[in-house]
Structure 1
Amino acid sequence: MIRKAHLRRPGLIAVALAALAVSCSAAPKPDAAAGGPAMTAATAAAPDGRDTLPGDVTPSAAPTSDLYAPTSGEKVRDAFATLQATLNDSCASDCAYLLARVNKELQELNSAMKNDPKGPGHFPEPLQKMAELNKTLAGDSSYENLSKHQAMLIGTRDFINTWMQGHPDDYR
């Protein structure tokens, strides 16, 4: 009897694992009765295909071809957090991506500071640095121009990071 149970155990384990593998790898099929993709509460709430969040008041602008174009309506703390995410990055792996991202994050923070309920006067030094950077870049966000002004771009990011660290009430 002991031998039979000993031989069954590996077989049962193999069957159980096979059943789990099949159930985990099977993709759910769309609802065929609906005549199209499965409708969820999220897609029903956003029939035009855009995702909406509870805090959204107006739909976002039409998507642009520029992946690094700044978005609007962001809070200072959120824009600052995404800018901080670039602090440990360098041009070693993909300089074009990094410079475009730093520029985008700075532009979003600039917009958030100008639209903050405390008013733009609450952020005088960062807004002044951004004005200087924007004057230097002259609206040209090409890799060649960002690379030419890389020191100023990264310097502006680092200055604003230091300034914001001294004003924790603005990003917490």
Structure 2
Amino acid sequence: MSVRIRARRHAAALAAAAALVTSLAGCSEAATSRGPGDDVPQVARSTHESADRAGTAEAAPETAGAGADAQEDPAGPEKVRDAFAGLQATLDDTCTPGAGDCAHLLGRVNEELTGLDASMKADQQGPGHFKEPLAWTAALRTTLAGDTSAANLEKHHKDLIGTRDRINTWMQDHPEDYR
């Protein structure tokens, strides 16, 4: 390619860029440093405040009602997909019971399973949709008997890791639940 052809292409590109900058500059003329320009109607501050109050009043009955979605409650459990992502983050981690490296991992697996259990129970599809995983976590809770000490978690290492892996497999077979 010759120098002239390259020069023409660069000149054309610069002209297009200049036209774009000019047209964008024209769009910004509606606003000034003192607010909107003359072509934008002004709205009284009291109008904004009353609209905000009305919006708050309308939203209050929705969140207070019994039909409110548990997934929208910021203090409620995570969504199933988010809780499952936390559980998946433990999949590549291993430990050897009795070697002193299991307390953190098994505690984390237990927490992730507890969070996923709560998410499945609160999910809009209902706990019946997650019947098997909920049964597995219930069996694990029975096995642990409420004792989440490092010694007890290490004692039930196979149960914790087995439940985690079983739920992972189940969820992989149900991708619509976490995507």
User: Is TM-score (shorter-chain normalized) higher than 0.5?
Assistant: yes
Normalised by the size of structure 1, how large is the TM-score?
0.58
Could you say which residue in structure 2 is the equivalent of 1:9?
A: none
Deviations 1:23-45 (A, max 9, x none): xxxxxxxxxxxxxxxxxxxxxxx
Whether 1:170 aligns to 2:174 is no
* Structure 1 residues 122 and 57: CA distance shift in structure 2, 3 A: closer
Give the paired residue count: 106
Could you say which residue in structure 2 is the equivalent of 1:135?
A: 142
Alpha-carbon distance between aligned partners in 2 of 1:118 and 1:101, rounded to the nearest angstrom:
26
Q: Structure 1: which amino acid aligns with 2:102? A: C
* Structure 1 residues 121 and 150: CA distance shift in structure 2, 3 A: same
How far has the Cα of 1:57 moved from its partner? 4.8
How far has the Cα of 1:56 moved from its partner? 7.3
Could you say which residue in structure 2 is the equivalent of 1:91?
A: 95
Q: Structure 2: which amino acid aligns with 1:134? A: R
Whether 1:124 aligns to 2:128 is no
How far has the Cα of 1:94 moved from its partner? 2.8
* Structure 1 residues 135 and 143: CA distance shift in structure 2, 3 A: same
Could you say which residue in structure 2 is the equivalent of 1:101?
A: 108
Could you say which residue in structure 2 is the equivalent of 1:75?
A: 79
Deviations 1:88-125 (A, max 9, x none): 00115831100000000000000000000000000011
Alpha-carbon distance between aligned partners in 2 of 1:148 and 1:77, rounded to the nearest angstrom:
29
Deviations 1:55-77 (A, max 9, x none): 9756x5xxxxxxxxxxx420000
Normalised by the size of structure 2, how large is the TM-score?
0.56
Q: How does 1:24-35 map to 2 (within 5 A)?
A: none
One of 122, 141, 156 as aligned partner of 1:149: 156
Q: Structure 2: which amino acid aligns with 1:95? A: C
Q: How does 1:51-66 map to 2 (within 5 A)?
A: 57=73, 60=75
Alpha-carbon distance between aligned partners in 2 of 1:73 and 1:151, rounded to the nearest angstrom:
26
What percent of counterpart residues are identical? 62
Larger Cα-atom Rg: 2
Alpha-carbon distance between aligned partners in 2 of 1:57 and 1:105, rounded to the nearest angstrom:
19
Could you say which residue in structure 2 is the equivalent of 1:65?
A: none
Stretches of structure 1 that go unaligned for 5 or more consecutive residues are: 1-54, 61-71
Alpha-carbon distance between aligned partners in 2 of 1:169 and 1:114, rounded to the nearest angstrom:
16
Structure 1 counterpart SS, 2:77: coil
Q: Structure 2: which amino acid aligns with 1:97? A: H
* Structure 1 residues 79 and 57: CA distance shift in structure 2, 3 A: closer
Alpha-carbon distance between aligned partners in 2 of 1:117 and 1:162, rounded to the nearest angstrom:
22
